[in-house]
Amino acid sequence: MWGGRFADGPAAVMREINASIPFDKRMWRQDISGSKAHVAMLGKQGIVVAEDVATIDAGLDAVAADYARDGVPIDLDLEDIHMMTEARLADKIGPVAGRLHTARSRNDQVATDFRLWTRDAIDEVLTALGAFQQALLARAEEHADAVMPGFTHLQSAQPVTLGHHLMAYHEMIARDVSRFEDARVRMNRCPLGSAALAGTGFPIDRDATAAALGFDAPTRNSLDAVSDRDFALDYLSSATQCSLHLSRLAEEFVLWASQPFGFVALSDQWSTGSSIMPQKRNPDAAELVRGHAGRIMGCFTALMVTMKGLPLAYSKDMQDDKPPVFEAHDLIGLCLAAMTGMVESATFRTDRMRSLAMSGFSTATDLADWLVREADLPFREAHHVTGRAVKRAEELGISLDSLSIEQLREIDARIDERVYDVLSVDASVASRTSFGGTAPDNVRTAIRAAREPRS
């Protein structure tokens, strides 16, 4: 390709560092689609004659069939998927293949291909997120009444329901969906026709190529179009946030599957054993999801650092934009599939959850609230009274609701028998009826709302 300007070929190391075909070959479908849209536009504008357009279009179909059947070959001399496709096209149709590159550059070509690939990646992630949400909804509905301890500081705080807990992750994933959707809308402008950096003097129709490729419109500035990788950073940012949420649930599964908790048994499909300890059942899938989150964050950081100091317009540094996005996409897909499988197949030990919810004086706040409502105490005074009740129960080695009315009245004479209506874990969760609260009816309402079609 460089024969007109360079007398000598590149050094072997230069060939290797300069070539991106080993990783950008996975954009071959997008490269074919962009080329077909481009040549069709060239024909309609009278820039390339109809006969050559038909020949090029058929040749691109043949190249695509080869790729689909045999994969994309690696040839470092051809550098990237764009030159590889052009070379394969020339092998099939001869010199007319050279007309395909009229009025475009590899700069706008790669920017278009990469946007197309990232848009497809977002669609794949949105499908996987939808499946994960459905798994969460199904298990939340199944366990809308199941009482478990709610934690702050990993200390028993107040009783909640398992359904409410799982719906908390549904909320997180809903935000992830919105982030990916926002990124898709923002990136959906077509760089094709920006050429190297300044546009082209050919009478092209950028609206036509944008429409043919499913973009909302062409990009508005040629300099920005060829050098913009915000869409890739948006993707990585969304994937990073999502991986954080998946990692949090994975960490809970690791804790819950341990013997001290005993809240969940992961299925054989999502567990491994030990090479030396036959009793072990390790939550390795959850641990790997937790670990992969760090790698996805690293991908986001890598691309931010690559882009942070680049002047306009294109620089070769930007060839390194694709590996972190490709890696993050592969990892987030694995993580979503694994977490969906774990949620769908997990056996939640609700009896163990309920038992621990009844320990740790988790209904202490309910006693304080009762004193405010029924005995008209200021909350701070009610807090102190409840603290004395907890201390007394702790001294006796019993739960709050096991204290006799006489023992409670010794602490504060304003307490009467009605207090037992709020001291059980079932009464506690049932009372949390404020919007967004853990009451089972609230959980079911939230599930119904989540299943309603979005406007």
427 close to 357: Cβ distance less than 8 angstroms: no
Annotated catalytic residues are 153, 274
CA dist 404 and 141 (Å) reads 36
CA dist 138 and 148 (Å) reads 18
C-alpha of 413 from chain center: 55
Report the chain's terminal Cα–Cα distance, integer Å.
51
76 close to 83: Cβ distance less than 8 angstroms: no
C-alpha of 288 from chain center: 15
CA dist 231 and 180 (Å) reads 10
CA dist 434 and 436 (Å) reads 6
CA dist 218 and 215 (Å) reads 7
Smallest CA-to-CA distance from 205 within 40, 393, 405 is with 40
The four Cα atoms 12, 17, 21, 23 give a dihedral, to 10 degrees, of 140
DSSP category for residue 158: E
- Percent helix, strand and coil across the chain, each rounded to 5? 70, 5, 25
CA dist 31 and 44 (Å) reads 20
Type of residue found at 154? L
Q: Rg for the chain (alpha carbons), in Å?
A: 30
284 close to 341: Cβ distance less than 8 angstroms: no
CA dist 216 and 199 (Å) reads 19
CA dist 265 and 267 (Å) reads 6
Helix, strand, or coil (residue 315): coil
197 close to 313: Cβ distance less than 8 angstroms: yes
